[in-house]
Amino acid sequence: MPTVDVDPDDLRDLTGHEEKSDDDLRADLFELGLEYEGETEEGLRFEFEPDRLDRLSVEGVARSLRYQYGDDRGVYVPPTNDPEWTISVEDVPDERPYVTGAVVRGLDLDEATLDSLIQLQEKLHATMGRKRAKGAIGVHDLTMLKGESIAADEGDDSESGAPTDGEKQITYTGVAPDGDRFVPLEGDAELTPGEVITDHHIGQEYASLVADMDRVPAIYDAIGLFSFPPVVNGRRTEVTTESRDLFIEMTGTDQWTIDRMLAIVCYALSARGGTIESVRVEYEDAPDEYPAELVRPDFETTTKTVSHERIETTLGVGLAEDRVIDLLERSGLDATVSDGEYTVAIPPYRVDVRHPVDVVDDVGRAYGFNDLDSRYPDVSTIGGRHDRSRLEEAVRTALVGHGFQDLLNFHLTSEADVLDRMDLAPDDEAFGAHSPACVKNPYSEAYTVVRTWLLPSIVQVFENNTHRRYPQDLAEVGFVAHRDDDRTTRVAESHHVAGALARHDASYEDAKSRLQALVADFGGELATPPIDHPSFLDGRVAAVEIDGERVGVIGELHPAVLVEHDLEVPVAAFEFDLAAL
């Protein structure tokens, strides 16, 4: 788990509690979930859960303590001045297309403050930045940059207006490895980017991040190349204790990630007395989900909703609504309540709040977990299987009894496999046609989404077993999910039952007879009114209705689907929601 080194004197100064002893600080931080690991040359070392990345610096730890002490309340958003600098994104390498930035003015950097900034930078690299692969931070002395002057544009496609006269511009672009030269940090000779990754010790450490690029990322000002992200900055803009104004740039593979990293750094420097100034980002080829111009840093808050009942049930304590709001404000959040439902505002540095249970956790920590009264449960029970798990096992047993072989496939697949190869589109009004929940940082292109229905997984098994003897009768009871923005988690989850028959004489009637028997085993009443479905043959497909509720589909797979999967025998299949039984 991540650790943070904290100078206790610095922490007392930032919190305004000079009376706190080291033992007091250790005890208070333990209440926040930071466990004391020992002493280092820099001070006290604490370990904490990897979700609270805003605590990777003494400034973030001090902020949490001030909320815990009740000195600060609610969401704080640092004031931000209008932009005077623009980052122009032109002809950037496809492997690293995103950039963000901010200016921080009026800092008084002593050795301790500079060490804290470097620690935060490197620990963000190691965590959110995935060792700089997903996001890398460059911090520069602003006085050493010379921006190109840009004139105001009559157009206005940005988040807060077009550039004004006098704004200065730097450029994020790509350069050949043997292109322009610069002096890297901890170097004394001009090198090309290619020479940096072969001859410079920092370049050698991060060479793998750019080794396969034909053109590597580079940032220029009016003087020339001054940053080679994600590898190393130039020596010309090195930050020292004499620096007062900083330019912060971050590049990466995901805009959301580098924007959140930037927010964490800006909040830390704001706590040191810095004044935040926006930076305009202009994309020559804007990403689909963002406008052509952005103004950063992004300090917009997000919201989560959680019920009063859930808070009390999870914590096991009765709380008045005004008490809950007080605890949320002491956690650095804002909240309003209506009809027992809290709408909670989350500050931009809290990258850990992804689910209502995270809000409940904050309420518990502000209340004090040690202050919760221990009690025995009202009902003594013996651990056992969940009712749904029992039903799944019963259905699997019944399917095996009806001649199927039981499968257990991966929940993750690709959008092409779950939709395109089944002749489906996300906006089709057909069973299984949903927008899938996507993995933001997939390990493989074969596993980028959570499957929306089971049959594509079974058909892939048929595809991989064409060398096996027929008939092949396969079934699965498994997890599926799809995007649903009306839900708090924005994902709808369920469990389905699917069966498929692959043989030379497989027909709709064969699949229906198996389905009829399965439904009868559980006392249900089956109906199969005809419908249209892109994955199935016209006239040989029907809806599955159990006890009057439409819950699935049954039919013979369309020849186009069979050809797509290199299948030479017919396939008849069914799938429905497990909860219908």
Domain locations along the chain: 3-69, 80-147+167-296, 302-369, 387-580
Domain 302-369 has CATH 3.30.56.10: yes
Partners of 172 in the beta sheet? 89, 219
Which is more confidently placed, 125 or 152? 125
Q: Which DSSP letter does residue 299 get? A: -
pLDDT tens digit sequence for 490-502? 999 999 999 999 9
End-to-end CA distance of the chain: 44
Q: Are 451 and 457 in contact (CB under 8 A)?
A: yes
Average pLDDT in the 18-44 region? 91
Selection from 75, 61, 54 nearest residue 20 by Cα: 61
Are 3-69 and 302-369 equal in CATH topology? yes
pLDDT tens digit sequence for 409-442? 999 999 999 999 999 999 899 999 999 999 988 8
Distance CA 499, CA 576 (A): 10
pLDDT of residue 324: 96
Q: Which DSSP letter does residue 35 get? A: E
Average pLDDT in the 237-259 region? 96
pLDDT of residue 157: 46
pLDDT of residue 288: 74
pLDDT of residue 162: 56
Which is more confidently placed, 285 or 261? 261
**160: pLDDT strictly greater than 90:** no
**102: pLDDT strictly greater than 70:** yes
Kind and range of the H or E element at 243? none
Helix (H, G, I), strand (E, B) or coil at 367: helix
Q: Are 117 and 139 in contact (CB under 8 A)?
A: yes
pLDDT of residue 167: 84
Peptide bond preceding 230 in cis form (omega within 30 of 0): yes
Out of 5-19, 163-177, 228-242, which region has the weakest mean confidence (pLDDT)? 163-177
Average pLDDT in the 141-146 region? 96
pLDDT band for 154, please (50, 70, 90 cuts): very low
pLDDT of residue 164: 59
pLDDT of residue 1: 76
**527: pLDDT strictly greater than 70:** yes
What is the dotted CATH code of the domain comprising 80-147+167-296? 3.50.40.10
pLDDT of residue 161: 54
**243: pLDDT strictly greater than 80:** yes
pLDDT of residue 153: 52
Q: What angle do CA 520, 526, 531 make, to 5 degrees?
A: 150
Distance CA 265, CA 60 (A): 9
Q: What stretches of 93-179 show up as alpha helix (H) in DSSP?
A: 111-126
pLDDT band for 384, please (50, 70, 90 cuts): confident
Out of 95-104, 117-126, 282-291, 425-434, which region has the weakest mean confidence (pLDDT)? 282-291
pLDDT tens digit sequence for 318-368? 999 999 999 999 999 999 999 999 999 999 999 999 999 999 999 998 998
pLDDT tens digit sequence for 283-310? 998 877 789 999 999 999 999 999 999 9
pLDDT of residue 533: 96
**260: pLDDT strictly greater than 60:** yes
pLDDT of residue 522: 95
pLDDT tens digit sequence for 548-566? 999 999 999 999 999 999 9
Residues in binding site for Mg(2+): 352, 358, 361-362
Helix (H, G, I), strand (E, B) or coil at 534: coil
Distance CA 274, CA 32 (A): 26
Instruction: Kindly report the CATH class assigned to 387-580.
Output: alpha beta
Out of 90-94, 255-259, 375-379, which region has the weakest mean confidence (pLDDT)? 375-379
Residues in binding site: 352, 358, 361-362
What is the dotted CATH code of the domain comprising 3-69? 3.30.56.10
pLDDT tens digit sequence for 440-493? 888 788 899 999 999 999 999 999 999 999 999 999 999 999 999 888 889 999
Average pLDDT, the chain: 93
pLDDT of residue 383: 78
**113: pLDDT strictly greater than 60:** yes
Selection from 440, 444, 434, 390 nearest residue 413 by Cα: 444
